[in-house]
C-alpha cells in the first residue's frame, strides 16, 4: 500500500485532532468564571441571601485555586518518554505501510507502542497533585 492511499486518512485525523484541541481550548478557565462571578456579585442587591451565598462561593473557589496552583505539576520526563513512544509507533507504521508485503507485522508493535505512548502522555502531561516521587495522588 502506498502512502498516497493513507494521505486522506492522515489529513482527516489531523483535522479532528486540531478541532478537538480548539474546542477544549475555548472553555472558560476557573479564573475567568470567578471574574464573572465577582461582576455578578456587584449587580446583586445589598443584604440579599444570594449575594452572601455567591460571596462565600467566590471565597471558596479562590482558596482552592491558590492552594491547588502550587501543588499541581506535570511529569516532564514521563511526557517526553511518552512522546518518544508515539514517535517510534509512527515510524513503525510508516515503515509498515511503505514497505508492504510481510512488513505489515510491524503494525502490531506499532499499535502496542502507540498505546503505551498515549496512556503515558495522558497520565504525565496533565497537571496533577503528585507525591515527592512524582506519582499522581
| Residues 34 and 84 placed together within one structural domain of the fold | no
| Residues 42 and 101 both lie in one domain | no
Same domain membership, residue 88 and residue 47: no
Under 8 Å CB-to-CB from 103, ≥6 apart: which residues? 95, 96
Shared domain for 62 and 94, answered yes or no, is no
Its pTM surpasses 0.85: no
Given this model, what pLDDT does residue 25 score?
64
Which positions ≥6 away from 117 have C-beta within 8 Å? 82, 83, 84, 85, 86, 88, 89
The 10s digit of each residue's pLDDT in 23-60 is: 666 555 677 888 888 888 888 888 888 888 888 888 88
CB 123 within 8 A of CB 79: no
Regarding whether 44 and 7 lie in a shared domain, the answer is yes
Residue where one domain finishes, among candidates 70, 100, 119: 70
Co-location of 131 and 94 in the same domain: yes
Q: Do 63 and 116 lie in a common domain?
A: no
Among left, alpha and beta (phi > 0; psi -120 to 50; other), residue 135 is beta
Give the domain extent around 83.
72-137
| Residues 63-116 pLDDT 10s | 887 777 666 677 778 888 999 999 999 988 888 888 878 888 888 899 999 999
Under the phi-then-psi rule, with left for phi > 0, alpha for psi from -120 to 50, and beta for the rest, what region is 48? beta
Amino acid at each position: 500500500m502506498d502512502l498516497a492511499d493513507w494521505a486522506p486518512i492522515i489529513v482527516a485525523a489531523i483535522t479532528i485532532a486540531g478541532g478537538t484541541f480548539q474546542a477544549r481550548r475555548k472553555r472558560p478557565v476557573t479564573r475567568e468564571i470567578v471574574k464573572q462571578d465577582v461582576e455578578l456579585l456587584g449587580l446583586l442587591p445589598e443584604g440579599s441571601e444570594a449575594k452572601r451565598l455567591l460571596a462565600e462561593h467566590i471565597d471558596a473557589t479562590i482558596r482552592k485555586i491558590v492552594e491547588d496552583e502550587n501543588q499541581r505539576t506535570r511529569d516532564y520526563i514521563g511526557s517526553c518518554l511518552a512522546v518518544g513512544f508515539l514517535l517510534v509507533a509512527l515510524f513503525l507504521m510508516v515503515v509498515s505501510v511503505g514497505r508492504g508485503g510481510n512488513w505489515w507485522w510491524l503494525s502490531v508493535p506499532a499499535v502496542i507502542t502507540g498505546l503505551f505512548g498515549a496512556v503515558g502522555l495522558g497520565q504525565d502531561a496533565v497537571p496533577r497533585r503528585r507525591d515527592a516521587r512524582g506519582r499522581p495522588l
